[in-house]
Amino acid sequence: MDDLSPSLVTRITGVIHKQIASRQLSLGARLPSIRSLAEAQGVSKSTVVDAYDRLVAEGVITSRRGSGYFVAAPTAPLALSDIGPALDRQIDPLWLSRQSLETPDDYLKPGCGWLPPSWMPEDDIRRALRAVARNPKSNLVEYATPLGHLPLRQILSRRLGELDITVAPQQIMLVDSATQAIELLCRFLLKPGDTVLVDDPCYFNFLAKLRAHGVKVVGVARTAHGPDMAAFSAALEAHKPRLYITNTALHNPTGTTLSPLMAHRLLKLAEAHDLTIIEDDIYADFEPEPSARLTAFDGFERVIYVGGFSKTLSASMRCGYICVRGDWIDALIDLKIATIFSSHQLPAELVCAVISDGHYRKHVELIRQKLAALRGRTVESFERMGFKIGVVPQAGMFLWCELPGGRDASELAKRALAEKIVLAPGNAFSLSQSASGFLRFNIAQSQDGRVFEFLKRALG
């Protein structure tokens, strides 16, 4: 039907919408009969039938058998919370997520943790949508199998080989995002009262998530080459943690990468203290040359590998995955079924369609090149304003910058928000709250002149 006369049907639904909005048709009022509206509007009766069907589907009107169509209850008005961000919320690990997710499109987001939409492979996704729509083998209606779409797991198995990670497709479980992967693993591994190690600073949502799990969290300072090994060792002795969650490569927020030497030492300590490690590798595709992975060294003895596509492919159709030792898979499947029953099949097929096309490799290569081109001059601009950048990352989107003159990042973030700029204050990432003088910038989101103009003015 929508292939025949969409514009006519849309015109008729528009007429009714307008009459309701202007109170010509009020709540409970009977709509014109199909014949009379068709005559009045000069369209066929079937066009009006289709338009009324659509309005019924939208819930705008209802039909009563034998007596016609009536205006249904109106939608309740929007609350302010749907329109604007709260300006006074205390800055905590969730503050930044909410500012980044909730602020309208006219806000600048140099503190945001993802790339601008224009950097994402939208054309490839549209092509994948069309391909999945026309492929008679697409599974559009049934649940995914417990581990998820096998062709995607086979591709992941091969791709991970490039990081020297040997993993069979049946050791890979698809889930709906890397965040959900870590959520499931926390449910799998932790009980309230356990202790978990994180980097300080670390991805702020680790802190929010672990707080929600009721576990004790201990931070270990992050150096240029990985966690401070003396502090890490001392924390193992003192707190007997069950788990360590980390980004090995292109760590969020510092952009630093674990060296092979540190990886080896860390795994020796982990073994001695029976520590399990979640290696969250969602920035893998930003690396031009792969660095050392804990999972590659460890071979799934005690390291669990987590990846996803929200940062390089799409955050609208999310797909993450867990790679784990074979003898844990069965219990993980049980927990996945109990908590979410099944992960999304269609997004997995779409991700599979996008990445099995040569375009995706070119797309991530292009992202790397664009970031590389911007990184140097962004660093230069920030340094000119007085920021100190201890380690300039080799790749990725983040710059971890120390404010000049001991200024407070949270204060600055609040001022910025009033000017519709979302900054990422350091303490949102810091368990010890020792990063009040830092901001995390996203290179790709910091190119608007108003960001620099604001910073210059605020710091001047």
CB of 119 to a copy of itself, least distance (A): 9
CB of 441 to a copy of itself, least distance (A): 19
Nearer to a copy of itself, 146 or 386 (CB): 146
Check: CB of residue 420 under 8 Å from CB of residue 394.
no
State the residue for tokens 């788990």. 243
Nearer to a copy of itself, 235 or 313 (CB): 313
Tokens of 82: 């749907």
CB of 187 to a copy of itself, least distance (A): 7
Torsion of CA 416, 419, 422, 427, to 10 degrees: 20
Nearer to a copy of itself, 303 or 353 (CB): 353
Applying CB under 8 A, does 34 fall inside the site for a copy of itself? no
Q: What angle do CA 301, 200, 267 make, to 5 degrees?
A: 20
Q: What angle do CA 2, 6, 8 make, to 5 degrees?
A: 140
Nearer to a copy of itself, 332 or 423 (CB): 332
Choose one: 112-120, 272-280, 425-433, 450-458; the region binding a copy of itself (CB under 8 A): 112-120
Applying CB under 8 A, does 190 fall inside the site for a copy of itself? no
Tokens of 293: 């992975």
The SS3 call for residue 243 is strand
CA–CA gap between residue 174 and residue 345 (Å, rounded): 9
Which of 441, 393, 445, 391 is CA-nearest to residue 413? 441
Applying CB under 8 A, does 88 fall inside the site for a copy of itself? no
CB of 6 to a copy of itself, least distance (A): 10
CB of 258 to a copy of itself, least distance (A): 23
How many beta carbons lie within 10 A of that of residue 84, not counting itself? 10
Q: Report how far Cα 362 is from the mean position of its chain's Cα atoms.
A: 22
Choose one: 185-193, 257-265, 271-279, 379-387; the region binding a copy of itself (CB under 8 A): 185-193
Count of residues binding a copy of itself (CB under 8 A)? 109
Choose one: 234-242, 270-278, 346-354, 440-448; the region binding a copy of itself (CB under 8 A): 346-354
CB of 261 to a copy of itself, least distance (A): 26
Nearer to a copy of itself, 119 or 452 (CB): 119
Nearer to a copy of itself, 290 or 390 (CB): 290
By CB under 8 A, the residues from 356 to 415 that bind a copy of itself are 356-362
By CB under 8 A, the residues from 272 to 331 that bind a copy of itself are 310, 313-318, 326, 329-330
Tokens of 265: 């030492």
CA–CA gap between residue 9 and residue 129 (Å, rounded): 25
By CB under 8 A, the residues from 49 to 78 that bind a copy of itself are 50, 52-54, 56-60, 62, 72-73, 75-78
Euclidean distance between the first and the last CA atom of the chain, given in angstroms as a whole number: 62
Applying CB under 8 A, does 146 fall inside the site for a copy of itself? yes
Check: CB of residue 390 under 8 Å from CB of residue 139.
no
Check: CB of residue 309 under 8 Å from CB of residue 316.
no
By CB under 8 A, the residues from 226 to 255 that bind a copy of itself are none
Half-sphere exposure of 57 (CA within 13 A, CB side): 7
CB of 48 to a copy of itself, least distance (A): 12
Locate all alpha helices (DSSP H) within 288-408, ordered by sequence. 294-298, 329-340, 346-355, 358-384
- Helix axis angle, 260-272 relative to 229-239, nearest 10°? 10
Choose one: 33-41, 123-131, 227-235, 270-278; the region binding a copy of itself (CB under 8 A): 123-131
